[in-house]
Structure 1
Amino acid sequence: MSGPWITGAGVLCATAAGVEDFARALRAGTSGIGRRGVDGDHPELRPLLSADLSGFDLRGATADREEPLRREASRVAGRSPRSVQASVAVALEGWERAGLHRAGVPGGRIGIVVAGHNLGGRFAEEVRPRYLSSPVHLPARYPLQFMDTDHVGTVSQLLGLTGEGYTVGGASASGNVALINAARLVESGAVDVCLVLGALTDLSDMERQAFYNLGAMAGGQATEPEQASRPFDTAHGGFVPGQGAACLVLESAASAERRGAAPWAGLEGYAMRLSGNGLADPSAADEADVMSRALRHAGLDPGRIDYVNAHGTGSPLGDETELTALRALFGRGGPWVNSTKGLIGHCLCAAGVVEAVATVLQMRDGFVHANANLVTPIGTGGRLVGTRSRPAAIGHAMSNGFGFGGFNTSVVIGRPDTF
């Protein structure tokens, strides 16, 4: 296998604080979706549902990390916006799980790519009243903190990373866009190791309302929270937003072997293409094409894929389009298909990285997690996992990411014994 190895991971989401918690929650089919409070002055506000990080704080999230990085994390990011603090927490978990805290990899040979844009909407919403009441008392660090590059700066300072680094954006496909860019950095020899961070998108109330007005987000006013996210079910009514962040460590095989790091999986192939469309209507032909390109890049036939982690947001048009594309590529049988968003909501810019972690864990532990609330599947054909997890041997998997504005991405991941 010529692509980079995955040698570590970290994750935070509504159902788990850490990789092993996430694996258990996926197998159990735990839902993290709950009901939000509504501003008393604006009772018409929607949506009412979200899969939020409840009780998150940086000290608690890094309590199990080793010194001196745990103490340094509090110093560097203790007053950062929550989105940046979540990036720090998952980066530290991924760093330790990859064994990089014990390895002598020079900082100049380690890069970082952050998936996300427009990440701090709620932070800006919270700061604005201070500006309106007294502009001169706007926090001095706000010019740094409202920019998405603050994730790169803060994490690189904490970990001493001086290789290449940047942020990338592709709407809901941002996570896969980051994985692809990081893989190219490793493959080109620009770096030996690259941290890929799926950053928490902290939506403001106005941004949530905008998605709802567009018809993309579920309202949930007449629905039990855990039943609201329904990817591939005829009762789907839009996505439920989820707060999440994740880290994957990509590394060249030569670097990993030098320091004795075992691969969790390998990024065997990938593809990315635009639809030439600035709207929110996806194309089944383009989605099928990008999946086919990812397979060709991996050197695999469709029959070699055992599992697909679908984009599957619960949006009627998006679900129907993706299932049509999957049938075009794999036929009416094919690999197991599920959507992690039914359990943890749609993590937006972080979704692709969170779901790649979910894919690696299912591959490692030999199961496919449930498709939450899949009572009556849309159409026929396609091997959708039911409402309970089941054992599955996964040698090769595909993870899809599609975004508003015509972003189409797909990555192919292989189990270590397949390369």
Structure 2
Amino acid sequence: MMTSNKIGITGMGIVSSIGENISSFCNALMKGESGIRLSTSQKEPKISVNIAAELQNFSFLELLNRFQDVPEEKLVNAKRLGRRAPFAIQASIISALEAWQHAQLFQSKLQSERIGLIVAGQNSTQNFQYDLIQKFRENPEYLSPRYALEFLETNQVGVLSELFGINGEGLVVGGASATGNVGIIKGYQLVHSGFADVCVVVGTIADLSPMDIQGFINIGAMGGKKYINQPEKACRPFDKQHEGFIYGQASACIILESLASASKREAPFLAEIKGGSINLDGNSSSDPNKNGEVKAMLSALNQAGLSASEVDYLNTHGSSSALGDKTEADAICDVFGGHTAALRLNATKGLTGHCLYSAGLVEAIATVIQMRQGFLHPNKNLEEPICNDLKFCGAEAINHRIDIAMSNSFGFGGINTSIVLKRD
């Protein structure tokens, strides 16, 4: 991944529980606003934990109508493609439209064959399918013919490629909680390899069914029981009172582009992607592995051509699980050694919850925003740190310059990822 031809981010878009676009998301980060609250879901059966950072009152058409300076033809097509589509598709359309607009691609004439598309997501239609089960049992013929397309993740590829006229390489990637970072790394590799000048990377929303949520509870991965009456306190990355991740919802999109392409369009980099690494533990369990996490961070730094002492800020995986947080803290200490006294650590999940498939993209966007705006967002609910050797961000946002940042994402199945970003 090392190259003299820089690859950077030229556009970003998001719809999340703390912001329906980049501007509102940025403001929420500065204020330390949490999207975690009691769930509004009325589904049966009721599950034992009803705390989440959901997209409440989501209206596809209302959000679509807020876009300005987008060609009318694109808005008409977006409405046609998304009006009756599953929730996950609708959210992807909104975040991708913002990123495409942010990158000034509506004003550019690129060869469609030179644009790639990576959909970072898996199992995004779980709740969509769950809602159809009862009606299907009563009358199987009720099932819409489009269901055969819509339950497949490739539907995201088809819809987004049609909307934006993308005719280059396109695919779906997965990596459990590391899916977003996997998407960024694979998008980077696609541009770096020369198969694309521009790559759209979309992290799909996690629309979990009650059965999926109960499964996470039963495996001991999801928290929320201790703070069932205080939802905003439930997600506690690196705090001694953590008990598991809190489910979050977001769709996020970034536009990756080669320096040659961006320069030709006079489109500025928001940040440069310096390196990224994926490795496996060779382990099918949900347990994290310190050695795998260390290897991912060191490899990302090596590919970026940087030393650990040059990193100013680390956006941790910070899932708020006891074993996950301890393992990551130990891995960070191993990688950064004496530099930990100067390295600022943060956990965006304390505000957004764990957005699962899109988490890596959400956190990369949060990192870029902080780099460009010169601040560090609060590390929510960190009252008793599990480790006193690390310099975690505090309860309030502070001004801070970030030149080099790292962002970690680790997933079930022993998938370890890390990316390195540079302020442009």
Q: Give TM class, smaller chain.
A: over 0.9
CA contact (8 A) 2:45 2:210 kept: no
Select which of 20, 23, 30 maps to 1:20. Answer: 23
CA shift at 1:68, angstroms?
Answer: 2.2
Select which of 270, 280, 302 maps to 1:274. Answer: 280
**Residue in 2 that maps onto 1:93:** 98
**Residue in 1 that maps onto 2:36:** 33
CA shift at 1:55, angstroms?
Answer: 1.1
**Residue in 1 that maps onto 2:361:** 353
1:135 aligns with 2:140: yes
1:5 aligns with 2:5: no
**Residue in 2 that maps onto 1:115:** 120
CA shift at 1:70, angstroms?
Answer: 1.6
**Residue in 2 that maps onto 1:59:** 61
C-alpha distance in structure 2 between counterparts of 1:80 and 1:38, whole Å:
20
CA contact (8 A) 1:212 1:219 kept: no
Secondary structure, in 3 states, of the residue corresponding to 2:107?
coil
Secondary structure, in 3 states, of the residue corresponding to 1:254?
helix
Secondary structure, in 3 states, of the residue corresponding to 1:11?
strand
CA shift at 1:334, angstroms?
Answer: 3.6
1:209 aligns with 2:217: no
Relative to 1, partners in 2 of residues 1:236 and 1:145: Cα closer, same or farther, differing over 3 Å? same
C-alpha distance in structure 2 between counterparts of 1:227 and 1:3, whole Å:
41
Relative to 1, partners in 2 of residues 1:29 and 1:94: Cα closer, same or farther, differing over 3 Å? same
Relative to 1, partners in 2 of residues 1:71 and 1:13: Cα closer, same or farther, differing over 3 Å? same
1:387 aligns with 2:392: no
1:344 aligns with 2:352: yes
- Give the counterpart letter for 1:121 in structure 2: Q
Per mean C-alpha deviation after superposition, the further-off stretch among 400-409 and 131-140 is: 131-140
CA shift at 1:222, angstroms?
Answer: 3.6
Cα deviation 1:174-213 (Å, max 9, x = unaligned)? 0010111100100011010000001001000000000001
C-alpha distance in structure 1 between counterparts of 2:149 and 2:43, whole Å:
33
Name segments (4+ residues, structure 1) moved above 6 Å. none
**Residue in 1 that maps onto 2:238:** 232
Per mean C-alpha deviation after superposition, the further-off stretch among 160-169 and 123-132 is: 123-132
CA contact (8 A) 2:36 2:231 kept: yes
- Give the counterpart letter for 1:346 in structure 2: H
Select which of 102, 111, 114 maps to 1:106. Answer: 111
Cα deviation 1:192-249 (Å, max 9, x = unaligned)? 0000001001000000000001100013364401000000000001010001010000
CA shift at 1:84, angstroms?
Answer: 0.6
**Residue in 1 that maps onto 2:79:** 74
Select which of 267, 290, 297 maps to 1:284. Answer: 290
CA contact (8 A) 1:46 1:208 kept: no
CA contact (8 A) 2:43 2:210 kept: no
1:188 aligns with 2:190: no
Relative to 1, partners in 2 of residues 1:41 and 1:367: Cα closer, same or farther, differing over 3 Å? closer
1:297 aligns with 2:303: yes
**Residue in 2 that maps onto 1:197:** 202
Can you give the 5+ residue segments of structure 1 that lack an aligned partner in the other structure? none
Can you give the 5+ residue segments of structure 2 that lack an aligned partner in the other structure? none
CA contact (8 A) 2:224 2:235 kept: no
CA shift at 1:40, angstroms?
Answer: 8.6
C-alpha distance in structure 1 between counterparts of 2:125 and 2:342, whole Å:
40
- Give the counterpart letter for 2:65 in structure 1: A
Secondary structure, in 3 states, of the residue corresponding to 1:300?
coil
Secondary structure, in 3 states, of the residue corresponding to 1:68?
helix
C-alpha distance in structure 2 between counterparts of 1:166 and 1:234, whole Å:
40
C-alpha distance in structure 1 between counterparts of 2:113 and 2:41, whole Å:
48
Select which of 243, 247, 270 maps to 2:249. Answer: 243
Instruction: Report percent identity of matched pairs.
Output: 42
Secondary structure, in 3 states, of the residue corresponding to 1:409?
strand
Relative to 1, partners in 2 of residues 1:37 and 1:14: Cα closer, same or farther, differing over 3 Å? closer
CA shift at 1:300, angstroms?
Answer: 0.5
CA shift at 1:38, angstroms?
Answer: 7.0
Secondary structure, in 3 states, of the residue corresponding to 2:367?
helix
1:256-335 to structure 2, matched below 5 A, reads 256-331=262-337, 332-335=340-343
CA shift at 1:63, angstroms?
Answer: 2.0
CA contact (8 A) 2:246 2:354 kept: yes
Cα deviation 1:370-395 (Å, max 9, x = unaligned)? 11000000021111001111111000
C-alpha distance in structure 2 between counterparts of 1:402 and 1:411, whole Å:
12
C-alpha distance in structure 2 between counterparts of 1:311 and 1:328, whole Å:
16
Secondary structure, in 3 states, of the residue corresponding to 1:17?
coil
CA contact (8 A) 1:109 1:191 kept: yes
CA shift at 1:3, angstroms?
Answer: 3.8
- Give the counterpart letter for 2:341 in structure 1: G
CA shift at 1:46, angstroms?
Answer: 2.1
CA contact (8 A) 1:2 1:268 kept: no
C-alpha distance in structure 1 between counterparts of 2:267 and 2:197, whole Å:
13
Secondary structure, in 3 states, of the residue corresponding to 1:104?
coil
